[in-house]
Amino acid sequence: MSTPSIPEKLYGIIGHPLAQTLSPLLHNWGFARFGIAAAYMAFPTPPEKLAAFIQAVRTLPVAGLSVTIPHKEAVMPLLDAIAPSAQGARAVNTLVWEEERLVGHNTDVTGFIAPLLKRDGLKSGLVLGAGGAAKAVLAGLLQIGITDITLTNRTLERAETLAAQFGVSAAAWEERTNTHADLVVNTTPMGMKGKAEEESPLPPGFWQPGQVAYDLVYNPRETLFLRQAAKGRAQVIDGLTMFAAQGVAQFKLWTGFDLPMDEALTLLTCPSV
C-alpha cells in the first residue's frame, strides 16, 4: 500500500464566518491541475483572534493566505509591508511571503472590474457598505472611469470617512433609496448563505429597467438582492465572476501559474464536475 503524499505547502483563507467559502475548492483544484504539492483550507478566525493567528502564521508552514470579511482592513497593521495594489484599494485580500516578509496584496479590484469592462453606458454608481470590499469597489470604479459615485453605510460617519478617502459622495443609509445610479453594488454580507440569506440591502421597489445590480456575495449565486433587481427589469451581475477572477489572480501570486478563467467558472458553477 502506497503512503499518501504530504503537501509541501499549506495555504488557506481567514475570515468569519467561512462555512460556505468556495476558496478551498478553487485553489485545491488549481494545485491538482498543475501537480503542485500543496493544500488549501479554511481557517475560521473571529476578530478577537486575528492578531494571534497572524503571529502563528509566522511560525507555522503557511505559504499564503486569502483574507475575507471582516479582516481586510484589520490585518494591514499586522503585516510587514503593503503592496501597491493593496495601498490603492486601502484593503488586503491576499497574503504572500516575499523574502521572509509577510506582504499584503489586493486582487479584489481586478476581480471586481472583470465583468464591467465590456459594458458601456455606466456613468454613475451607488455602493452599499463601507468595509474592505467597498474600498476595492471604489478603486475599481474610479479605475474604469466612473466618478459619479455615492457611498452609503449604516454608520454614516464610516461612509463619510471612506468617501473622503476616494473623493466620492456619501449618503445616510436611510437616504440610499433616493439615489439613482446606473450601477448599484452590494458590498455588504446581506444575502450571504449562512449569515443573512433572506436579507437585501434595498427594498424591491427600488429598481428600474436599465439599471445594473452587482452583488459581491457569490454564495448563493442568486441572492435576494439580485432576484428583486431582476424582477424590476434591471440587469444583474452575480459575485461568482469577481470571485473567480480574484482567486485566479491570487493563485498567480502564490504559484506563478495561470488558471484558466473558463474552467474555473465551470468548476465553481458546477462543483461536482
pLDDT digits (tens, 9 = 90+) for 73-99: 999 999 999 999 999 999 999 999 999
- Active-site residue among 72, 118, 135, 231? 72
Residues linked to residue 214 through DSSP beta bridges, in sequence order: 185, 237
Q: Mean pLDDT across the chain, nearest whole number?
A: 94
pLDDT at 271 (0 to 100): 62
User: Which burial class, exposed, middle or buried, applies to 154 when counting CB atoms under 10 A from its CB (0-12, 13-18, 19+)?
Assistant: middle
Residue 13 sits at the vertex; the CA angle it makes with 257 and 70, to the nearest 5 degrees, is 130
Contact 236, 216 (CB under 8 A): no
Residue 176, pLDDT score: 97
Supply the pLDDT for residue 157: 98
Give the containing element (helix H, strand E) for 124: strand 124-128
- Can 123 be counted among the known catalytic residues? no
Angle formed at CA 37 by CA 93 and CA 255, multiple of 5 degrees: 40
pLDDT tens-digit readout, 204-235: 999 999 999 999 998 889 999 999 999 999 99
Q: What is the pLDDT of residue 270?
A: 79
Residue by residue, DSSP assigns 186-248 as: E-SSTT-TTTSTT--SS-GGG--TT-EEEE---SSSS-HHHHHHHHTT-EEE-THHHHHHHHH
| Phi, psi for 3 (deg, rounded to 5) | -85, 130
pTM for the whole structure: 0.85
Domains of the chain, first to last? 9-106+243-269 (3.40.50.10860), 110-238 (3.40.50.720)
Q: Identify the residue whose cell numbers are 457598505.
A: 129
d(CA 254, CA 261): 17
Q: What is the pLDDT along the chain (273 residues), one digit of tens a residue?
A: 444 455 789 999 999 989 878 999 999 999 999 999 999 999 999 999 999 999 999 999 999 999 998 999 999 999 999 999 999 999 999 999 999 999 999 999 999 999 999 898 999 999 999 988 899 999 999 999 999 999 999 999 999 999 999 999 999 999 999 999 999 999 999 998 877 899 999 999 999 999 999 999 988 899 999 999 999 999 999 999 899 999 999 999 999 999 999 999 999 987 654
- The verdict on whether omega for the bond into residue 70 sits within 30 degrees of 0, i.e. cis, is yes
- The CA–CA distances, whole Å, from 224 to 70, 115, 124, 129, 236 equal 22, 20, 23, 16, 12
Helix or strand holding residue 10 (H, E) = strand 9-15
